[in-house]
Amino acid sequence: MEVILKQDIPNFGYKDDIINVKSGYARNYLIPKGMAITATEVNRKILAEVKKQRSFKEEKIFKEAETLAKALEAVSLKIGAKAGTSGKIFGSVNAIQISQALSDQFKFDIDRKLIEVDGESIKELGDYTAKVKLHKGVQVDIRFEVVAD
């Protein structure tokens, strides 16, 4: 069954995408929760008109995301954490600390939900990378170093 997504759904698609899902999943989960609508001819025409009107705004947002991505590529963060003598830190470093460090050190306001750290959290000192998904087609890797306070 083809449906039109009304919001971003991880591992399925983005808002306004037409995707093919099983009928039961669409009827029992996506449509009742307001996450999707059926892809009838009328809904497809409405979607086409909405996309046409939104394309200019989307292009502007995409260009802003690309310029932000270029600026983030040059960034090298240092995140301080309390650590023991063996190099293990007390607690962990996750997307929240990376977002806060970007804000404090470089004045970039990036939502923590857009930052993806390999393995959820970091528990040792060293150099790491994190992925920042700024837009549908714009993703950048930022380098950061966890240092002892």
- Give the predicted TM-score (pTM) of the model: 0.64
- List, in sequence order, every residue forming a beta bridge with 133; answer none if it has no partner: 139
Pick from 31, 98, 27, 110: nearest CA to 68 = 110
Q: CB neighbours of 37 closer than 8 A, spacing ≥ 6? A: 3, 4, 6, 31, 43
Max mean pLDDT range (40-44, 127-131, 133-137): 40-44
Q: Quote the pLDDT of residue 120.
A: 67
The two structure tokens encoding residue 75: 């960034």
- pLDDT tens track for 93-114: 888 999 999 999 888 888 888 8
**Tokens 């025409």 map to which residue?**
45
Q: Is the pLDDT of residue 134 over 70?
A: yes
Ordered domains of the chain (ranges, CATH): 2-64 (3.40.5.10), 69-148 (3.10.430.100)
Count the helices and strands in the chain (H runs, E runs). Answer: 3, 9
